[in-house]
Structure 1
Amino acid sequence: MKTSVSLFAAAALLQLPVAAFAQMPPRLGETVVTANRTPQPLSQLVADVSVLDRDQIERAGAVGVVDLLARLPGMEISRNGGVGNNASLFIRGAETRFTAVYIDGVRVDSQSTGGANWESIPLSQIDRIEVLRGPAAAVYGSDAIGGVIQLFTRRGEGGVSPKVGIGFGSHGLRRAEVGVSGTAGEGNVFDYSIGATHEESKGYNIQPWDKRNVTRTAQYSADGFTSPDRDGYRTDAANVKLGYQITPNQRVEATVLYNEQQAQYDTSKFVARPPTSYPNDIGYQRLRTAGLAWNAKWNAIYSTRVQVTDSVSNYETQPSYYRTETHLRGYLFQNEFRFGANLFTATLERREDDLTNPPVSLSSKLLKRDRSQDALGLGYSFVQGPHSLQLHARRDDDSEFGGKTTGSAAYGFAVTPQWRLTASVGSAFRAPTLYQRFSEYGVDSLSPETSRNAEVGLRYADGGTVAGIVAYRNRVNNLITYDSTARGCASLFGCYRNVARAEYEGITLSASQNFGDVTLRGSMDFQDPRDLDTGNLLARRAKKHASFGADWRVAGWTLGAEVQTSGFRYDDAANKRRLGGYTLLNLTASTQITPQWSLLARIDNVGDKDYTLARGYATGGRTGYIGVKWTPL
């Protein structure tokens, strides 16, 4: 651990009991599934996990998934403009492609860029989010070097429960949603949830004027001439989740989610003079996920889960044509054996990836490749008294580059009923994308990126007080980067190469405190994500960032305040272009107007702070949102 990081974090830890506390840690009685792929009480968990529930998601207003996740411990984002534009998410500083993402158990990924296309995931259809920080390849296979994020849509409960909502916000934002959920049949054996949302915004100029503007119809940025008009977006999303309880111990569930989105953006033009007019380029995103699962508990000892999943992620631009489509299929057979305090798991899994990149010019060629990975995973958990032990090992065999074995070991010890120590080590890997290997910039001999992680934690929980500290170090080898000077591929402009090494290390502090009708919560991160070969900080990641918040329930209202703060970052790997730090204040207010009608109001960036998450791209400034929802009893 670097000295500056350690000393600063130690000083902050001394202030933890009196800090104004971001995101509240999960309740200790809560059950999560992401850490080990099996339901487990949080009190027995060794991993570093955060949970966002339905109420927290709804109070976020009309923002993107990454905006909400950025308020959690250990999370940072980068985005080229506003909602709908290209976004990256860093868990503990790790690359965005190092996070394995699932929606209702369906894997979402891009075999072009690597990682999920976050801008295509509709927050409006999400009911719960679980975030696991730290490698989990021994459970999930390729990609989970930095962590795992699972998003869940709503499950029907109780009687028929329809809902209708509308909302309006800054930049011409309009939003409408409808849905119905509930149960049916004798004994409520059938449950259903159906929802749809339409959202559109006139947007704002995501590449703003600078001092070198040259005409009223075009502006000059460091990357060329761009249009000064507003860049809006439109999205339509829907989901269906159906469940049937065959017997008290057997359940089948089917889920489908669809999102179609178009977002305007400016393409820089390198010309001697700015054009007289600029048509906007438009990025089209389409995401579809589908899954069918059967859970069965055969007796007190043996349980199984069988699941088939399918997802398609499509990105296309017009009129500057580009198109890429990733199709993933997954097959899972999970077995659980419980013997008292012992749980054994055995998992067979198959993943099939398919990438299609049509030619964009006469000189380019169609890229259409596929591959598969077959895996066997074994796990063991032991929970008794103050002890929690979790062991995992997994073997993945890739049809392209061969096999990869990963493992993890984690141990927790309750020193007292309030204090708990945890420690874990684990290895992980990310297979090269099909684009990195077989495109004109690809090299088919690329090796998987690999990592080794170690972390320790200390947690305290007593009544309304919850606090924790986690220290980690994750070292990645064979890091794949694009080298413009490299040769050995079809392109004259460079190739992908396994030439870099990176290290993500840091300390995360989080806490929450209840004082009757007031809840304080917060987190602070001190990290040092570096390129080990150059010694430079990794691009677009700050060494220090934090989030603090408070909720006050008074006179039928819930009033909230959030503060997000981040230190400076560099926009480039060479650490030449500095992005300034920022501090934002967000305010929320919600109330139940009548038993059927609820109101939400939110103001983000109250101080109208001018800041950027990526060079040349503006953020939205002060924004407001107000929405009402009708949900009859």
Structure 2
Amino acid sequence: MYHLLPSLRVAVLAASLLVFVSSRSVAAQSDDTAERDTSEVAMYVQMPDSVVVTASRYAEPSQTTGRRVQVWTRRDIAEMPITTVDQLLEVTAGLDVRSRGAFGVQSDLSLRGSTFNGVLLLVDGARVNDPMTGHFLMDIPIPLPEIERIEVLRGPATALYGPDALGGVVQIFTRAAMAPVQNTENGVGGDVIGQYGDYSLYGTEGQLRVAREHWRISVAGTAQGSNGQPITNDQGDVIESSRGEERTDFERYAGTAAAKTKLGDGSIYARIGIDDRDFSAYHYYAVAGDTARESTQTLWAQIRAQGDPRADTRWTAQVASKLHDDNYRYNPQASPSIHTSRLTTVQAEVSRTLSPEWTVNGGVSGQVRGIDSNTLGDRADVAGGVFASARYRPTKPFVLNGSLRLDGDPLYGLEPTPQLFASYSLSTVTLRAGVGRAVRAPNYVERYIDLPTTKGSPDLNAERSWSAEAGTDIYVTPELTLRLTGFGRRTTGLIDYAKVDENDAAYVARNLNEVETLGLETEASFRQTIQGVRVLLDGSYTLMDQTLTSQRPVADARYALSSPRHMLQGRAAISYGQITGSVNASYLDRTGNREIPTDHYGLIHVRLAYGWQMTEGKHVAVSAEVRNLRDREYSDVLDAPMPGRTFLVSLRFWL
């Protein structure tokens, strides 16, 4: 499966460089959709920010979910100084993005102090998490121009989506999946972006979409790469191996195609995608003697059918499949580790509006997972679950959302995961609170890895947690919103690599007895237009404290206490006429982590863009961007080097 479809690279480049023709815009959703709280708006129209899906599996105003969900829209993506999904998530409150390489090459996600295996990633409702390891979570073949919105749900969600959602859920909604297929005007649209920067950094991506009366097609591709920055030792000398200079070089090519059409009063949607990347993996997983390189390939396919979203009874059925290849070579003298992991998921659910007070939802899901590996062996497992949820609104300000799921897995048997969240909304204040249980099974690496410094444990148990939270959203003015959330989680049997004695030669995967996490999230959002100047500000501060207790003393644990104690994250954008300036900034303090030499650091990324309308419906923009403005030397994991100051310029056409 290595180097899948070599001609893909040429095809992606050609597709990305298309100059698109004029189109008529697709009719937008009216503002009053935000007042609907049924699934009528789910997955078939462009939803306003105030309506979310991920918190309850059907669309409803965020104020009634009892949860904190942060929404990033296509406009946010276009305005911010980012080139990958990872870079967008870096300014999401409470979300810790632990990157090993530049520009989205590989990143782990942690939410509210979870390990990097405790965040669930969904693409249009389908599970993406790799059964081999959480390190491949962000290997997704969805270029930025194809993303319509991203929702980040904080807190437990196993009762809604199954195992792994201990810290929260990140869900990507694509433009094709959310496109309306009823009363759609005919039209053609598209987006193409080209970038070039320091160290021969290049990037080009494009999207082409065609809409007819009852169907929609979307094609997107991306190609990115760089010669990379030289990697130096403590004395400032460039490190060399038998391959020559060690650099942070990478290449990534991805492409996807999707279609959506009417199915009676409902719709059917299908997508295929491929992601192919090759990169320096210097010190990604080890230190001594590590001059690694790695290549990964991902194949993705999904198909979803759903009934009339406007009916009292609504149904959805979906099948998704992922094939992931990984070729890792520790150094030029070592034999490669070759892995192929597989994941197929099926899901069917039904929702029913019983009355203005009651909405119920229920369904079944299953997954077949496996791996073929020259180091981990050949493995396969089957798991599944049933779930039900209900939304009860006895009075207009008060809403209860409850869910219960029962999962069956050969690794932990039957496991119930309930959750209950409530909200109480007044004109300027929303109060929210809830509690939930979550579970996560060990992955194949945790069970079967066998290296001199890292050992797996085939008999690992699942980790289980109870989480609780309470918060308030204060709408000070129509332009200013303040949010405060306190949360706590107690995890038993947390899976981590630990040493019982500091003289142990290897970290061994173990179920640690208990980890307690307490945290406080504060957020502020400001939107205002003053004399033609549009000002947008988002900022957050997260404080977390984690305590590890164990029945046996643990000398060192690799990930359990690695979350930042302090996190400052934010972005700003100012637009006047055709000029937009934007800044993304973050500060992390990892004072409790022994594995990362860069305990605390701050990053600033800036962009200045100028855009104009060429002719009716056709737009163009040029921009200049500086990443890591302060040229900060830092590492997120071990001492895998992250890029210093990088300049790049971009040209974008869209209609």
Identify whether the pair has TM-score above 0.5, normalized to the shorter chain.
yes
Q: Contact conserved, 1:285 with 1:316, CA < 8 A, in 2?
A: yes
Q: Contact conserved, 1:370 with 1:434, CA < 8 A, in 2?
A: no
How far apart in 1 are the matches of 2:136 and 2:55?
19
**Residue aligning to 2:297:** 286
Q: Which moved more, 1:131-140 or 1:529-538?
A: 529-538
1:253-402 matches, cutoff 5 A: 253-266=269-282, 281-297=292-308, 300-318=311-329, 319=332, 320=334, 321-340=336-355, 341-359=357-375, 367-383=377-393, 384-402=395-413
How far apart in 1 are the matches of 2:523 and 2:89?
15
**Residue aligning to 1:145:** 166
Q: CA deviation at 1:94?
A: 0.8
How far apart in 2 are the matches of 1:496 and 1:136?
25
1:175-574 matches, cutoff 5 A: 175-184=203-212, 188-205=213-230, 207-211=231-235, 218=240, 228-247=245-264, 249-266=265-282, 281-297=292-308, 300-318=311-329, 319=332, 320=334, 321-340=336-355, 341-359=357-375, 367-383=377-393, 384-414=395-425, 416-438=426-448, 440=450, 441-461=455-475, 462-483=477-498, 495-516=508-529, 517-533=534-550, 538-572=560-594
Give secondary structure in 2 for the equivalent of 1:96.
coil
Give secondary structure in 2 for the equivalent of 1:409.
strand
Q: Contact conserved, 1:396 with 1:405, CA < 8 A, in 2?
A: yes
Question: Which amino acid is 1:566 matched to?
Answer: L
Query: Structure 1's 201 and 122: CA in aligned 2 closer, same or farther, altered over 3 A?
Result: farther
How far apart in 2 are the matches of 1:630 and 1:217?
41
Residues 134-164 of structure 1: per-residue CA shift (max 9 Å, x gap): 0101111110111111112222575111333
Residues 433-457 of structure 1: per-residue CA shift (max 9 Å, x gap): 2343355544343211000000001
Residues 379-415 of structure 1: per-residue CA shift (max 9 Å, x gap): 001234101100100000113431111100011112x
Which of 627, 642, 649 in structure 2 is aligned with 1:619? 642
Q: CA deviation at 1:57?
A: 1.9
**Residue aligning to 1:628:** 651
1:67-106 matches, cutoff 5 A: 67-83=87-103, 85-106=105-126
Question: Which amino acid is 1:585 matched to?
Answer: I
Residues 548-600 of structure 1: per-residue CA shift (max 9 Å, x gap): 33222213212223332222434426xxx653422233222223233421223
Q: Contact conserved, 1:250 with 1:297, CA < 8 A, in 2?
A: yes
**Residue aligning to 1:592:** 611
Query: Structure 1's 565 and 226: CA in aligned 2 closer, same or farther, altered over 3 A?
Result: farther
Give secondary structure in 2 for the equivalent of 1:145.
coil
Q: CA deviation at 1:326?
A: 1.8
How far apart in 2 are the matches of 1:217 and 1:560?
36
Give secondary structure in 1 for the equivalent of 2:117.
helix
Q: Contact conserved, 1:354 with 1:370, CA < 8 A, in 2?
A: yes
Give secondary structure in 2 for the equivalent of 1:160.
strand
Query: Structure 1's 176 and 403: CA in aligned 2 closer, same or farther, altered over 3 A?
Result: same
How far apart in 2 are the matches of 1:587 and 1:442?
42
Question: Which amino acid is 1:233 matched to?
Answer: F
How far apart in 2 are the matches of 1:174 and 1:298?
42
Query: Structure 1's 500 and 625: CA in aligned 2 closer, same or farther, altered over 3 A?
Result: farther
How far apart in 1 are the matches of 2:606 and 2:282?
31
**Residue aligning to 2:60:** 40
How far apart in 1 are the matches of 2:420 and 2:522?
23
CA RMSD of aligned residues (A): 2.9
Residues 104-146 of structure 1: per-residue CA shift (max 9 Å, x gap): 2231122222464325565534332111110101111110111
- TM-score, reference length from structure 1: 0.84
Q: Contact conserved, 2:141 with 2:300, CA < 8 A, in 1?
A: no
**Residue aligning to 2:38:** none
Q: CA deviation at 1:67?
A: 2.3
Give secondary structure in 1 for the equivalent of 2:446.
helix
How far apart in 2 are the matches of 1:183 and 1:27?
18
How far apart in 2 are the matches of 1:505 and 1:293?
39
Is there any run of 5+ residues in structure 1 with no aligned partner, and where? 1-25, 220-224, 272-277, 360-365
Give secondary structure in 2 for the equivalent of 1:579.
coil
**Residue aligning to 1:6:** none
Which of 154, 162, 177 in structure 2 is aligned with 1:133? 154
How far apart in 2 are the matches of 1:493 and 1:261?
30
Is there any run of 5+ residues in structure 2 with no aligned partner, and where? 1-45
How far apart in 1 are the matches of 2:70 and 2:430?
17
Query: Structure 1's 298 and 464: CA in aligned 2 closer, same or farther, altered over 3 A?
Result: closer
Q: Contact conserved, 1:467 with 1:511, CA < 8 A, in 2?
A: yes
Query: Structure 1's 114 and 587: CA in aligned 2 closer, same or farther, altered over 3 A?
Result: closer
Q: CA deviation at 1:374?
A: 1.8
Q: CA deviation at 1:508?
A: 0.5
**Residue aligning to 2:10:** none
How far apart in 1 are the matches of 2:603 and 2:446?
37
How far apart in 1 are the matches of 2:607 and 2:236?
38
Q: CA deviation at 1:226?
A: 11
Question: Which amino acid is 2:192 matched to?
Answer: V
Query: Structure 1's 631 and 511: CA in aligned 2 closer, same or farther, altered over 3 A?
Result: same
Query: Structure 1's 495 and 80: CA in aligned 2 closer, same or farther, altered over 3 A?
Result: same
How far apart in 1 are the matches of 2:444 and 2:638?
28
Q: CA deviation at 1:27?
A: 9.6
Residues 253-311 of structure 1: per-residue CA shift (max 9 Å, x gap): 0012211011123368968xxxxxx9x64311112221111111388421110111111
Identity among equivalent pairs (%): 21
Q: Contact conserved, 1:137 with 1:429, CA < 8 A, in 2?
A: yes
How far apart in 2 are the matches of 1:464 and 1:191?
36
Query: Structure 1's 190 and 455: CA in aligned 2 closer, same or farther, altered over 3 A?
Result: same
Task: Count how many residue pairs are aligned between Structure 1 and Structure 2.
Answer: 574
Question: Which amino acid is 1:94 matched to?
Answer: S
Q: CA deviation at 1:245?
A: 1.6
Which of 197, 202, 206 in structure 2 is aligned with 1:174? 202
Query: Structure 1's 300 and 105: CA in aligned 2 closer, same or farther, altered over 3 A?
Result: closer
Give secondary structure in 2 for the equivalent of 1:352.
strand
Give secondary structure in 2 for the equivalent of 1:118.
coil
Question: Which amino acid is 1:48 matched to?
Answer: R
How far apart in 2 are the matches of 1:167 and 1:84?
15
Question: Which amino acid is 1:323 matched to?
Answer: I
Q: Contact conserved, 2:439 with 2:465, CA < 8 A, in 1?
A: yes
Q: Contact conserved, 1:538 with 1:570, CA < 8 A, in 2?
A: no
How far apart in 2 are the matches of 1:51 and 1:521?
12
Which of 76, 87, 90 in structure 2 is aligned with 1:56? 76
How far apart in 1 are the matches of 2:462 and 2:223?
40
